[in-house]
Amino acid sequence: MKVLLINGSPRKKGNTFLALSEAAKTLKQQGIETEIVQIGVKPVRGCIACGQCKAKQLERCIFDDDICNHISEKLDNVDALIVGSPVYYGQPNGSVLSLIQRLFFSAGAKVQNKPAAAVCVCRRGGATAAFQTMNMPFQMMNMPVVTSQYWNIVYGREEGQAALDAEGMQTMRTMANNMAWLLKKIHADGNLNYPEREPWEPMHFIR
C-alpha cells in the first residue's frame, strides 16, 4: 500500500513539509509506503472548463504544461492521498486549489474510494476555513476522509517552527495511524469490495 502526500507550499522544506514528513514517518512505521511531491514555484493553471478531458476520455488534463498530469499519473499507483497547504488569507494556497480542481475533474476515477486527508499550516488563524475548503473535494469524490484527534492543523511561521508544535505533530501522527488502520481494513482480504452506487442524477435548480 502507498500514500501520496502533496506538499502545496512553494517552500520545499518549510513547515508544510515538516507536517507531512511527520505523517509520512508514521505511515512508514505502519508498513505503508509514502511519497511526498512538492508542487514547487512554477505556475499551476486553473481549470478553464473546456471539457476536453471528458470529451476525449483522457483521464488527464488537456493542458500538459504544469505539474497536474505528473501527479495524475502517480494516482494510478497509490491507495490514499494527503494534501498539505499553507494558509493564505484564510484559504489554501491558490496553486493547490487549481491543482486539485483540475486533477479531480480530469482524473476523478483515479481517486474514487481512496482515503484522503487535508493538512493546513498557519501562523495564527484561518486554518479551519482553509481545512474545510480542502476537505470538500474529497467528499464529492467518494473519498473516505481520515480524521485525527483534532483538525489537521499545525502552527508555525518561520521555517522549522512547526516542529515545536507538539500537539500539531501529534495530530499528524494520529491522522497517519488512522489512515494506516483504514487502509489495512480496506485491503484486509485482498478484495476491494467498494459499495455499489446509483448512477449520478444531476439536477439544476433553474430549468
How many structural domains is the chain composed of?
1
- Residue 201 inside a domain? The answer is no
**What CA–CA distance (Å, rounded) separates 189 from 174?**
24
- Residue 14 inside a domain? The answer is yes
- Residue 204 inside a domain? The answer is no
Q: What is the pLDDT of residues 170-192, one digit of tens each?
A: 999 999 999 999 999 999 988 88
State which residues form the domain around 120. Answer: 2-186
- Using CA atoms, how far residue 48 sits from 66, 80, 143, 167, in Å, is 14, 27, 24, 40
Q: What is the pLDDT of residues 26-64, one digit of tens each?
A: 999 999 999 999 999 999 999 999 999 999 999 999 999
For the chain, give the longest Cα–Cα distance: 54
- Residue 13 inside a domain? The answer is yes
Look up the CATH number of the domain holding residue 92: 3.40.50.360
Q: Which residues in the chain land under pLDDT 70?
A: 207
State residue 206's pLDDT score: 81
- Residue 200 inside a domain? The answer is no
Whether 52 and 91 have beta carbons less than 8 Å apart is answered as: no
For residue 115, give the 3-state DSSP assignment: coil
- Residue 192 inside a domain? The answer is no
For the question of whether the overall pTM of this predicted structure is more than 0.85, the answer is yes
For residue 189, give the 3-state DSSP assignment: coil
